[in-house]
Amino acid sequence: LDNPLQPIISHAKEYGFIFPSSEIYGGLQAVYDYGSNGAELKKNLKEVWWKAMTQFNQNVVGIDAAIFMHPTTWKASGHVDSFSDPMVDNKDSNKRYRVDVLLEDKANEYRKAGDTAKAGALEQELGRLMDVEDMDGLRELLISEGIKCAISGTDNWTEVRQFNLMFSTEIGSVADESNKIYLRPETAQGIFVNFMNVQKTSRQQIPFGIAQIGKAFRNEIVARQFVFRMREFEQMEMQYFVRPGEEMQWYDHWKETRMKFLQAIGLPAEKLRYHDHIKLAHYANAAADIEFEFPIGFKELEGIHSRTDFDLSKHAEFSKTKIQYVDDTIEDKDKRKYIPYVVETSIGLDRLFLAVLSNSLTTAEGIDAKGNAKTRTFLKIHPALAPNKVAVFPLLRKDGLPEIAKGIFNDLRHDFKTIYEERGAIGKLYTRQDMIGTPFCITVDHQTKEDNTVTVRERDTTEQKRVKIEDLHAMINKEVSL
Ligand code: ATP
């Protein structure tokens, strides 16, 4: 089977971005490790998001909550009862599937074939059965639609059952049910349970936001799309607390702001679109995804949800503590105390990584030194995100050139992630930097000794120009900021 992600997966492995986890043991499904270049890119993505949230907005503050939380958290949030997907096994192949995904694929097939009425009817029936959690009904629909197992070609399905996506473990030294705790499936709840602590200590007035970056864990059933869907992943979430009744204006604001952010870091407008949810979760009064055109098609990259006061009210109820805000700006004293409404923005860091990587991997027609046509592959990544900003090479390993090049490297590395290399032909060194997205290569040659200039080669154009050593810092600095 052709996997449209294969070129990205291969590039990511060969150039030190992403490896399968514990690969020497055969890997672990839907778990991945980031290599030396991947770790830098990931760190840069976190940094630009964190800055856009907590530095650019004076009324957004950050926190860093634990992965483990009191188990009642997940009862209150609804995750214990309903954070699950309907799952079915094929009895002949033992292959496991998500029923809703199988049926959605079928509806898409109808739509592609031009039968929108049939597609709509199927989606509506699927929505109804999911809402009332009718597992038998889902199985009947599966069979009546003639959906077969991709491996065995049969429709010999088991019962459909709800499969909870939360991982659990035991805390303390005694393993029994009362010590069972969960690995958080989202970072949001760490923000909700800390609402009162953060509001008081940060002296924020409504509207204000709390941002967080951290690991989340989901035992996903469908796990075959590289870092798009992982079992251990990272989220970047921001919960914005507002006055009830004003949530729609903030919902629109954050929808727009997040779209601008994604474009500012280099994702093209034509590969991004909104998908407004028609069917809403019971606690939401508006929800939209920002979708990105991955090599596997337009898929959710980020969610923007208006979650009402659902989470804070539930935590107040389950913890029997008072969670409320006193709004001095309201004249009517009786109306000053309320539970804030929440608008959240939630993006997967790894999914954003995949979006950036797949968007950047570029193959262009060019000409080689002899004037022949040849294709060139390079990573056209925003310089602010590039794992390394600049690489410095001496043209030859003699005549004092390495000493000058090392001097430049020693100067630049204080401010920029810089590479120094002296082994290999210049052309090969350029190609290697192209593959990992380094925006500038600096070469020291004999002319440098005469006029203190170096050759600067640009990644995207391959153009070369002479630049004075003293101007290098300013030139790089201009390009690497957002
Ligand atoms: P999906 O429908 O793709 O499963 P979701 O609607 O369950 O996603 P949310 O719970 O809204 O996702 O999570 C917010 C964001 O977290 C998503 O937009 C996505 O970027 C990211 N995310 C969710 N699940 C995963 C996962 N298994 N692997 C990587 N990123 C994920």
Q: Quote the ligand 1 centre to 234 CA distance (angstroms).
A: 10
What's the pLDDT at 442?
A: 98
Give 469 Cα–ligand 1 centroid separation in angstroms. Answer: 46
pLDDT (tens digit per residue) in 287-296: 999 999 999 9
Residue nearest to atom 25 of ligand 1 (CA): 229
pLDDT for the residue 172: 86
Q: 157-190 burial by CB neighbour count: b if 16+ within 10 A, else e?
A: beebeebbebeeeeeeeeeeeeeebbbbbbbbbb
Question: Residue written as tokens 């005469």?
Answer: 450
State in Å: Cα 198 to ligand 1 middle: 26
- Residue 301, annotated as binding a ligand: yes
pLDDT, the chain, mean: 94
In which residue ranges of the chain is pLDDT below 50?
none
- Nearest residue to 327 via CA among 310, 340, 341: 340
Across the strands, what pairs with 69? none
Is 375 annotated as belonging to a binding site? no
Give the number of the atom of ligand 1 that is nearest the alpha carbon of residue 223. 27
* Domain 6-66+185-356: homologous superfamily in CATH: Bira Bifunctional Protein; Domain 2 (3.30.930.10)
Expressed in angstroms and rounded, the spacing between residue 348 Cα and the centre of ligand 1 is 6
Distance of alpha carbon 110 from alpha carbon 118, whole angstroms: 7
Pocket residues: Cβ below 6 A from ligand 1:
186, 218, 220, 229-230, 233, 235, 300-303, 346-348, 350-351
Q: Which residue's CA is the nearest one to ligand 1's atom 20?
A: 348
Q: Where in the chain is the domain with CATH 3.40.50.800?
A: 388-480
By most ligand atoms within 8 Å of CB, the mutation choice from 351, 352, 357 for ligand 1 is 351
Q: Which fold has domain 388-480?
A: Rossmann fold (3.40.50)
Question: Within the chain, which residue ranges are assigned CATH 3.30.930.10?
Answer: 6-66+185-356
Q: Give the model confidence (pLDDT) of 439-472 as tens digits.
A: 999 999 999 999 999 999 999 999 999 999 999 9
Query: How much is the pLDDT for 175?
Result: 67
Q: Which residues pair with 466 in a beta bridge?
A: 455
Instruction: Enter the ipTM.
Output: 0.98
Kindly report the protein residue whose alpha carbon is nearest to atom 23 of ligand 1. Answer: 348
